[in-house]
Structure 1
Amino acid sequence: MKFSLKAVALSALLSSFVIAAPVAVEKRDANSDRIAACFVGLIFTGSWPGSCKAAVAVNLGLIRSITVNQMTMDFSPADPWAPTTSSNSIVATMLSIPGITLPIDSVRQHIILADNDVQIGSIDTPWSAASVKGGALTTSFSTSTLNVFPASHGAFSNFISSLNTKASHPVTLQGAVDIKLNLGIFGKLTIPGVGFKATTTFAGLNNLTPINYLFLIDTNFDNIGFITLTTIVNIVNPSMLTLKLGDVAFDTAASEGRVGISTIKDLNLVPGDNYVLSTTDLDMALPAAGAFLGNLGNADGVLTLTGYEGSSSDVALNAGLAAMKSVLVVPQNFEGSVMSQAPYKDWSLKTLPSTNTDFVVEVTATFQSPYYGFPIEMVHALDAGMDNYVTVSNVSPTTNMMRLFNFMDTLTFSVSGTGSVTVTFKGKLASVVPAAKNRWTELVAYAAANGHIPIEFTWMANIIVNNDGINRYVDWGNTGTGLGNVNIAVGADFASILNAIP
């Protein structure tokens, strides 16, 4: 007679299950016992009868709770009622079966999203890899459409509003999941329609308050009747949601009253810090706008940003944004506004064979974005009507404030927000007159002894930030901007400048 090790193992496992049941942490019912017995039988026999299929389809069966650690919602698709979603981490707590770890290697989810007992829409995901450890099934899903039910448009907008304005919000996930198991000698088996229903809490945006002011890039007067402030702000997203919202606008008011509209283009919020460009169009026809600017000289200005009926061109998202309200504090006189790093470093100057006659020198420097990761493009180092130049600093009373060279409009470059680029361009010596020869002689001696000259910039550059096509005049002077002292390296050739002076 053959002795079945499989039958002995099955018997022992079922016995273990029965003994363990009364002290198990989770409360068991008849359905739980049937599900456990089904999976024990599956592991040891490879059999999945119709009674097991019916058992797992019951809500609150195999899957007991669900935690969504990350989710992306993209509102850029053309159909506002069909945003896309994805997640890189979903953890489902499963029914505990003593001695058994289910060999699940992939899942496919059919989810119905419900809010306040109203079914909002459905998500059908593709097959995704999965693993089970300690009774927890971990998986993810790639980009899938959330199809909002036609009768639930209002409920969906209310759901978005709750996520935007609350610190947390409960959401019910229900439906079915198809699972694939690797049963070893029994091969692979697909079990469709494992039912689930669980309420999980999403951390909300909490009105994104406060929005933190970082840096004023420029002030623009091109739009008649308006003063446009372009500012880098940090929006801290406290949730696990990544939201791709597109262009978003907020009605903006100061303590003096309404001042205009603030716009953030292509707003993508990830969990944590988000450095974004905020453009505020101050409507100077509004008395509060002028009062706001005038009062900034004496105190911080508090701006309240509120959603309104035109906040987004996406009708589904717009209704959800309408309830949102956040605060931005603009510091007195825009003080404390600092770049993330200096826009330039590693300066050097070299004379040319022609310098003695045309006074043109070769300048080399390394450039990087000072705007919190936004790429920049140099359009004009010397724009029409500008007087951009470099002066000597901290050498001696006679040479300090002496112009070393004037910028020529020969510097162009583009650099990513995180990279750097080294560029060589032309400058033109200044103050090359007989009366200045003693100062040049002193400067040449200092350079020979130190290998560099301390300098200061007076520089209003014309640049484009973040590839937006808008020419901005930015102050790249190193005095009053927190950039500190700059040295420009020179070699033995620098002494030849004395030959240029009559």
Structure 2
Amino acid sequence: MKLILIPFVLGISAFAANVNAVPMLSKRASSFVDSASCVVVFLASASRTETCKTDMAADVGAVVSITLDSLLLDFTGPDPLTAKVSSKGLKVQLAKIPGPITPSFPITGTREVMVLNDNTVDMATFSTPWSSATVDNMNVMTTTVEECALKVIPEQQAAFSKFITSVIMSSTTQEFILKGTVDANFTLPLPFGQKATTLPGVGFSSKTSLGGLNGLSSASFVRRTTDNSWDANKMFLFNFEIKITIPSQISIAVGDLSFNTVTGTGASRVDLGVSTSKDVRLAPGDNLLQVTLTTKGSDETTFFNALKSNGNMVVLEGFSESSKNKVIADAFAPVKIQLTLSF
């Protein structure tokens, strides 16, 4: 084992001598050396002191960047503060240690405890199951996030909803931080084979980003789906289909979603009723949603006349009861979707 660890120890020494060659690590040199020294001890003895656990859990700059090729958030469960999260494409750029000898430990699997942070606020946490991983010759690790529970910190529900709003409304990208610790499975080369080893509790912190949904401004009317109909309370129903194109890598399931629906502005503004779409699930690309507008009265003639006098244009406005889930209701409250109906 001592022969195996020599390259790693030399790599640490090279790092200490050349730390200024990596600006992002220069401020963390002492913590890196402490952490890496603990790694050497752990590999030799399979044990760690409490001090080493703390040193290894610190962010020492080993992760340069994190890229999410996809992200699924599912808020349809019974607990409004818990969502399902998963990703089929998580890429991590790992730092290279400068020096004549760079230790290489092929990573074969990881699991993480992650914290989602935006504007210095820790908003949510999730712990991933083990997933397979590979590292290429550019030090890019590719893995997945298998489905697990994302838990919104109760005191930060408003901040998390605001973060989701920012993702929905952004026309570019929304940047945030993923941080936490990772357990890594890798293989150590031995003179007569290999040894599988798990390195626990290595700290990281990195900026990442999600493409915005551009305020759902791509929404367009497709067709009216039924003839005139009324609900049990004799309120007139206008059923139609819309298309929303999602330009982001994010998929989001929010359940039933409702919007106040108005036509006209100023003195000509008319509150038509509430439009509801059941089991809303938005994914990258084109999405077709079935919508029912429940009007405020039974008279379809009044409804159609109000539309015609305003060029058949309506605005679907989010409000405080857009969803039974307060996280989602607050997130969609600022959303306004403009449509031109046809009938």
TM-score (normalizing by structure 2): 0.81
d(CA) in 1 for partners of 2:183, 2:7: 28
Q: CA-to-partner distance for each residue in 1:252-281, whole Å, 9 max, x for gaps?
A: 111242222211111100012112212223
SS of structure 2 residue aligned to 1:160: helix
Q: 2:156 aligns with which of 144, 147, 152?
A: 152
Are residues 325 and 288 of structure 1, via their aligned partners in 2, closer, same or farther at CA, if it must alter by over 3 Å? farther
The yes-or-no answer on 1:174 pairing with 2:201 is no
Contact 1:253 1:259 in 2 (8 A): yes
Measured after TM superposition, the shift of residue 91 of structure 1 is 1.6
Q: 2:254 aligns with which of 242, 245, 251?
A: 245
The yes-or-no answer on 1:228 pairing with 2:228 is no
Are residues 225 and 123 of structure 1, via their aligned partners in 2, closer, same or farther at CA, if it must alter by over 3 Å? same
d(CA) in 2 for partners of 1:316, 1:73: 12
Letter matched to residue 107 of structure 2: I
Contact 2:212 2:247 in 1 (8 A): yes
104-113 vs 152-161, which deviates more?
152-161
The yes-or-no answer on 1:189 pairing with 2:197 is yes
d(CA) in 1 for partners of 2:177, 2:19: 28
1:115 is matched with 118
1:137 is matched with 141
Q: How does 1:158-307 map to 2 (within 5 A)?
A: 158-167=162-171, 168-185=173-190, 187-223=195-231, 226-255=235-264, 256=268, 257-284=270-297, 289-295=303-309, 299=311, 301-307=312-318
Letter matched to residue 123 of structure 1: F
The yes-or-no answer on 1:82 pairing with 2:90 is no
Q: 1:128 aligns with which of 119, 128, 131?
A: 131
d(CA) in 1 for partners of 2:83, 2:13: 49
Measured after TM superposition, the shift of residue 24 of structure 1 is 5.4
d(CA) in 2 for partners of 1:270, 1:124: 23
SS of structure 2 residue aligned to 1:308: coil
Are residues 41 and 115 of structure 1, via their aligned partners in 2, closer, same or farther at CA, if it must alter by over 3 Å? closer
SS of structure 2 residue aligned to 1:56: helix
Q: CA-to-partner distance for each residue in 1:122-164, whole Å, 9 max, x for gaps?
A: 1111111111121222211211111222222222222222222
SS of structure 1 residue aligned to 2:276: strand
Q: CA-to-partner distance for each residue in 1:389-442, whole Å, 9 max, x for gaps?
A: xxxxxxxxxxxxxxxxxxxxxxxxxxxxxxxxxxxxxxxxxxxxxxxxxxxxxx
Contact 1:101 1:135 in 2 (8 A): no
1:316 is matched with 327
Q: Can you give the 5+ residue segments of structure 1 that lack an aligned partner in the other structure?
A: 335-502
For the pair shown, the structure with the greater C-alpha radius of gyration is 1
Q: Can you give the 5+ residue segments of structure 2 that lack an aligned partner in the other structure?
A: none
Letter matched to residue 189 of structure 1: T
SS of structure 1 residue aligned to 2:129: coil
SS of structure 2 residue aligned to 1:77: coil
d(CA) in 2 for partners of 1:56, 1:207: 41
Contact 1:84 1:144 in 2 (8 A): yes
d(CA) in 2 for partners of 1:91, 1:161: 25
d(CA) in 1 for partners of 2:230, 2:207: 52
Measured after TM superposition, the shift of residue 228 of structure 1 is 2.6
Are residues 214 and 105 of structure 1, via their aligned partners in 2, closer, same or farther at CA, if it must alter by over 3 Å? same
Letter matched to residue 159 of structure 1: F
Are residues 210 and 225 of structure 1, via their aligned partners in 2, closer, same or farther at CA, if it must alter by over 3 Å? farther
SS of structure 1 residue aligned to 2:289: strand
Q: CA-to-partner distance for each residue in 1:98-118, whole Å, 9 max, x for gaps?
A: 544431111111112222222
Measured after TM superposition, the shift of residue 8 of structure 1 is 8.3
SS of structure 1 residue aligned to 2:215: helix
SS of structure 1 residue aligned to 2:285: coil
1:495 is matched with none
Contact 1:258 1:289 in 2 (8 A): no
Contact 2:109 2:185 in 1 (8 A): yes
Q: CA-to-partner distance for each residue in 1:331-357, whole Å, 9 max, x for gaps?
A: 5xx5xxxxxxxxxxxxxxxxxxxxxxx
Are residues 17 and 113 of structure 1, via their aligned partners in 2, closer, same or farther at CA, if it must alter by over 3 Å? closer
d(CA) in 2 for partners of 1:48, 1:21: 28
Q: How does 1:86-101 map to 2 (within 5 A)?
A: 86-97=86-97, 99-101=102-104
Identity %: 28
d(CA) in 2 for partners of 1:242, 1:82: 16
d(CA) in 2 for partners of 1:123, 1:6: 35
Letter matched to residue 111 of structure 1: M
d(CA) in 1 for partners of 2:209, 2:302: 41
d(CA) in 2 for partners of 1:183, 1:191: 11
Measured after TM superposition, the shift of residue 37 of structure 1 is 6.0
- Structure with the bigger RCO (C-alpha within 8 Å, sep 6+) is 2
d(CA) in 2 for partners of 1:24, 1:116: 26
SS of structure 2 residue aligned to 1:313: coil
